[in-house]
């Protein structure tokens, strides 16, 4: 674990899935916004350390911490590490997730269970710790997906997990009445990350890029901009799913 302690009352953000893709871009954007950042990763320590190094080289503060988001003991330890290093947690960005695509009739049920564990149980476990430990004035930002509204063939299992994420998000926002904590979800459209690009041919990618009126894929920077908004100035946005997809649906 790489650690840089803070001596100020700087706000603190914890980002799951923070070593790559949208999570990594969110780490760098929140650090640029002035947050000390905890970069949470599942297994690739090198990528997480690189994310921390990028923040530190830009003058920010960060640490990397490994945790399985579906393991309640590991996630409690993650929040412990954030509190020990930086004094507390103000924003949780839960960007960790997995995606496997296949028609419903063909999907291996073990694959379904693994997606369920990471995407649904993980959201529940991270949400529990966030609800217990976020400081007042904080924010929890979950990740859904715009595929939920598009009803694309092959996405039944993944979209089902994201439907659960939206339900958890909207209900938790109401359960935290009186805490001055916002709970929202970001639902990206097709975004140029490894999670999206892996396994797709060029024709499929081009077809999906042409769907939005803006006629391009989203970028991790596009989504990090939304995360920054919900983590900072968006105090009157609560219990919402923000579909950041270029107008695709």
Angstrom distances, CA of residue 87 to CA of 8, 50, 94:
9, 23, 20
Q: Is 158 in the active site?
A: yes
Give me 106's structure tokens: 């063909």
User: Do 72 and 125 form a contact (C-beta atoms < 8 A)?
Assistant: yes
Residuewise pLDDT in 10s, the chain (249 residues): 444 444 447 899 999 999 999 999 999 999 999 999 999 999 999 999 999 999 999 999 999 999 999 999 999 999 999 999 999 999 999 999 999 999 999 999 999 999 999 999 999 999 999 999 999 999 999 999 999 888 889 999 999 999 999 999 999 999 999 999 999 999 998 887 776 777 677 888 888 788 888 888 889 999 999 999 999 999 999 999 999 999 986
Name, in order, each residue with C-beta under 8 angstroms of 111's C-beta and a sequence gap of 6 or more. Answer: 100, 102, 157
Of the candidate CATH numbers 3.40.50.720, 3.90.1150.10, 3.40.309.10, 1.10.287.110, the domain formed by 12-242 belongs to 3.40.50.720
Query: For the whole model, what pTM was predicted?
Result: 0.92
DSSP reduced 3-state for 242? strand
pLDDT in tens, 112-160: 999 999 999 999 999 999 999 999 999 999 999 999 888 889 999 999 9
146, 158, 183, 212: the active-site residue: 158
Write the burial class of residue 4 (CB in 10 Å: 0-12 exposed, 13-18 middle, 19+ buried). Answer: middle
Phi, psi (deg, nearest 5) at residue 143: -125, 120
At 205 the pLDDT is 81
Closest CA to 65 of 14, 1, 125, 126: 1
Give me 75's structure tokens: 């996630």
Q: What are the counts of helices (DSSP H) followed by strands (DSSP E) for the chain? A: 10, 7
């Amino acid at each position: 674990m790489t650690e840089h302690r803070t001596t100020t009352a700087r706000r603190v953000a914890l980002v799951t899935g923070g070593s790559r893709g949208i999570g990594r871009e969110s780490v760098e954007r929140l650090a640029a916004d002035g947050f000390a950042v905890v970069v949470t990763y599942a297994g690739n320590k090198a990528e997480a350390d690189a994310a921390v190094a990028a923040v530190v080289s830009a003058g920010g503060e960060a640490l990397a911490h490994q945790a399985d988001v579906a393991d309640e003991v590991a996630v409690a330890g993650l929040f412990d590490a954030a509190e020990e290093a930086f004094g507390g947690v103000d924003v949780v960005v839960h960007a960790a997730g997995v995606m496997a695509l296949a028609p419903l009739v063909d999907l291996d049920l073990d694959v379904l269970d693994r997606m369920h564990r990471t995407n649904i149980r993980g959201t529940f476990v991270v949400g529990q710790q966030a609800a217990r430990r976020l400081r007042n004035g904080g924010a929890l930002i979950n990740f859904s997906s715009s595929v939920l509204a598009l009803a694309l063939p092959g996405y039944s299992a993944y979209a089902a997990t994201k439907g659960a994420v939206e339900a958890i998000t909207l209900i938790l926002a109401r359960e935290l009445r009186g805490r001055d904590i916002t709970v929202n979800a970001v639902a990206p459209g097709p975004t140029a990350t490894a999670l999206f690009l892996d396994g797709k041919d060029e024709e499929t990618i081009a077809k999906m890029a042409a769907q939005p009126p803006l006629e391009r894929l989203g970028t991790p920077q596009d989504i990090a901009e939304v995360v920054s908004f919900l983590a900072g100035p968006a105090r009157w946005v609560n219990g919402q799913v923000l579909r950041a997809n270029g107008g695709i649906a």
